[in-house]
Amino acid sequence: MAAGGARRAATRRSLIVLAGLLPVLFVALLKFIEPGVLLEQRGLLFDSYQRLAPRPFRDAGVRIVDIDDESIQRLGQWPWPRGDVAALAQTIADAGAAAIAFDIVFSEADRTSPARLTALAQRQGVPAPAVAALRGLPDQDARFAQTLGATPSVLGLFLTPDGRAQGLQAKAGFAVAGSDPGASLPAFPGAIAPLRPLAGAAKGLGFVSFKGDADGILRRVPLVAKVGETLLPSLSAEALRVAQGAGGFVLKSSDASGQVNSGKPEAVALKIGAAEVPVTERGELWMHYTPPVPERVVPAWKVMPGTLPPAELKRLFSGRIVFIGTGASGLRDLVATPLAGRELGVTLHAEAVEQMVLQDFLARPDWAEGLEIAVLLAGGILLAVALPRLGAFRGALLAVLLTGAEGGGSWYAFKAKSFLLDPTAPILALIACYLVATLFTYLREEKQRRYIHGAFDRYLSPELVKRIADDPGRLELGGEVREMSVLFCDIRGFSHISEGMGPQQIIAFLIAFLTPMTDILLARRATIDKYIGDAILAFWNAPLDDPDQHENAARGALEMVARLEGLNREMAEREDWPGHVEVGIGLNAGPCCVGNMGSARRLSYSLIGDTVNLASRIEGLTKPYGVRIALGETLAARLPGFALVELDRVRVVGRDRPETVFALVGDEGVTETPAFRAFRDAHAGMLAAYRARQWDDAAERAAASATAAARYGLDRLYARYRLSIEQMRADPPPDGWDGVAQLREK
């Protein structure tokens, strides 16, 4: 049997382990496939890291000139004449800027150019001399192109999913280290470029297009993209190249020297002059944003000629990379970042250059995916194997510990190493493993509980069945000592009753009697120990704690007596009910040993102890003393509000110490009546006179209280005392008599 139990336990553990492993493998498969929902959760997690620990701002020589609302108010409606834009650029260049990058695409001719003004004047019928004067004005785009050619300027362009590149050429070439990774880069068939004279004059040309993740948040910015067959840099990458005076870019592939080949060439780094920038396979830079930095931004109106002294302009722009963008209402290029729902696009270009200059990068290493899957499998397998041995609570603690370790490790990698390691799938695997394994265990135990209920419901109390079902391991030999309340109930004269009934009638009678009595006891939270023929043994405070055990025992006994009176009336005409039935109920309280007792092959949840034996003896006293319910002194002390009447001090068979026995005649409602209080006091006086050998006084008191005693069902008790008084008067007890009645029979 022991070997069979061990095998069953091993099988059960194996099934739980398997149930926990299946969701782990499923999550591992999802991790390998990487559906959009996992990528979205990863992004949100990395966003939270950035909000908790944004990149501390360090001045990397980058400034933003913002064409803000005040600049529009001071200098006029946008677009400004290209001559004003040229003046702005020239002022910044004269202050010593290393590069001037426009987050603006000048794809259309200046509306104030002489050609446009002349055409407008002709349409409106302006006189010829005036038209000729307009035609003689200087060309704004030409002036701007001249300024671009004389300054370290970089112009922006848009990448489009349609159209053609129209002969677009990069200002600097790309050298490739390793195999061409172009297939992994984002490709666009067309672009919206600046006017050719402007593009030709500028020192650099870079795209300004951004595309956020599926949720619209920009976590990475592209540094290189393909337009047709041409590789183009972003505005930030081109600005850094121009500032350094570098001749071109070096795009490093995954199979270049020192790199691990992933099976197909992918971009891993972009070298811009002296700066080497790690990029994703799509040529993107992971952004590590700073909080808002006011000193990074200079309003455009302050930069216009004559506004600030040259010394202040040099302090602001000398040797710096300057981005010019539009932050005025209606002109804003707004994007969502982990730190801000509405951020100026030009700020992203500036922050990208800052990271490249400072060499302060977030990185998601090429080994990150493998590590995350390894952690997922290791943590999931460990939890699945441990759960059957630890159980639900300790298993939950282990799951929390592993979850904390994985989440904490990811946070440490971000904070200390700037690595982006995703614990989402490993944590999801732990949660799924715990939930599935726990649910599987619950369903198995629920099936076992249903089996136990089906097997024992008819024989044990519902509370006991529930406790065994919750913990089948309790079906073992052994017990525990508890403070208990015990009840014995026996039918008076059952042997005489059964003589006049056939076997079937006896069974029908016992069922009719025991069923309502049992229902009352169970309603009062009793545990039915056993039926001994016509007798009932029940107890309280086991297997479940019952803080009201004493009151429940007393009320249960009173309700049993009241119900029996009703049965005697209801069943009077039935053949299987033997006339008027009486019971005796004995109650006691005290320590008992309770538990599963018997043999290894057959167990019975029962109790033993002196408290139980005394309860049986007290039940036996109900007949000679003529009462229905009797209880011991320990229980009586715990029922101060009930109507109790002292019967006698007796020394039962098998016990040397005498016990004061009481009759229970009612609940608190009876106790509170003046009639009962008067009778109780008179009865106490009769007992005191009796034990003091004052026979005449005792006899008078007994006679005076006889009518009241009959009202509480104690007429036979008083008849017993009157007889005893007469006997004592005729034959006085010896010296040293203590008033204790000595019983010779059980």
Residue 436 counted as domain residue: yes
Burial class of residue 674 in the structure, from the number of CB atoms within 10 Å of its CB (0-12 exposed, 13-18 middle, 19+ buried): exposed
Convert 246-281 to b/e letters by CB count within 10 Å (16 or more is b).
bebbbbbbbbbeebeeeeebbbbbbbbbebebbbbb
In a domain, 464, yes or no: no
The helix (run of H) or strand (run of E) holding residue 182 is: none
Using 70 as the pLDDT threshold, list the residues of the chain that sit under it. Answer: 1-9, 121, 130-134, 136, 164-167, 257-263, 445-478, 599-603, 744-746
Q: What is the pTM assigned to this prediction? A: 0.61
pLDDT tens by residue, 222-279 = 999 998 888 999 999 999 999 999 999 999 998 875 555 555 788 999 999 999 999 9
Residue 458 domain-assigned? no
Does 353 lie in the same domain as 373?
no
Same domain, 210 and 310: yes
**At 74, which amino acid appears?**
R
Digit-coded pLDDT (tens) for 663-695: 999 999 999 999 999 999 999 999 999 999 999
Residues 361 and 288 sit within 8 Å (Cβ to Cβ): yes
Strand order in the sheet with 187-188: 187-188, 224-227, 230-233
Residue 716 maps to a domain: yes
How does DSSP assign 57-99, residue by residue?
P---SEEEEEE-HHHHHHH-SSSPPHHHHHHHHHHHHHTT-SE
Same domain, 147 and 74: yes
Give the separation between CA 454 and CA 466, rounded to whole angstroms: 11
Contacts of 376 (CB under 8 A, 6+ apart): 24, 27, 28, 31, 425, 426, 429
Give the closest residue to 323 by CA, choosing from 63, 67, 68: 63
CB 618 within 8 A of CB 664: no
Give the closest residue to 180 by CA, choosing from 233, 277, 256: 256
Scan for tokens 């696009």, then name that residue.
345
Looking at the fold, whether 37 and 105 belong to one and the same domain comes out as: no
Indicate if 634 and 652 belong to the same structural domain.
Answer: no
68 in the same domain as 198: yes
Which one, of 352, 334, 50, lies nearest residue 212 by Cα? 334
Return phi, psi of residue 534, to 5°: -90, 0
Residues 489, 380, single domain; the answer is no
- What residue has token string 């599935």? 436
pLDDT recorded at residue 199: 94
β-pairing, 248-253 vs 173-177, is parallel
Q: Is 445 within the bounds of a domain?
A: yes
CA separation (Å) from 154 to 107, 245, 306?
14, 12, 24
Number of domains in the chain: 4
Q: HEC string of 680-716?
A: HHHHHHHHHHHHCCCHHHHHHHHHHHHHHHHHCCCHH
Which CATH number do you get for residue 507?
Answer: 3.30.70.1230
Domain boundary among 639, 672, 707: 639
Q: Of 639, 674, 705, which residue is a domain's last?
A: 639
Q: Are residues 524 and 652 in the same domain?
A: no
Asked if the structure places residue 122 within a domain, the reply is: no
The reply to whether 714 and 656 lie within a common domain is yes
Measuring CA to CA, which residue among 643, 537, 552, 654 is closest to residue 585?
537
State the virtual CA torsion across 250, 256, 261, 264 in degrees, nearest 10: 50
Q: How many CB atoms lie within 10 A of CB 593?
A: 18
pLDDT on residue 455: 44
Domain with 394 in it: 2-52+367-453
Cα separation, 91 vs 94, in Å, equals 5
**Do 67 and 199 belong to one domain?**
yes
Distances 655 to 1, 630, 651 between C-alpha atoms, Å: 43, 18, 6
Chain CA centroid to CA 338, Å: 25
- Regarding whether 348 and 425 lie in a shared domain, the answer is no
On whether residue 466 sits in a domain, the answer given is no
Do 615 and 708 belong to one domain? no
Residue 470 placed within a domain: no
Both structure tokens of 411: 């946070």
User: Tokens representing 289?
Assistant: 């944003």
Name residue 646's beta-bridge partners. 662
In terms of Cβ atoms closer than 10 Å to its own Cβ (0-12, 13-18, 19+), residue 501 is middle
Which of 581, 611, 639 terminates a domain? The answer is 639
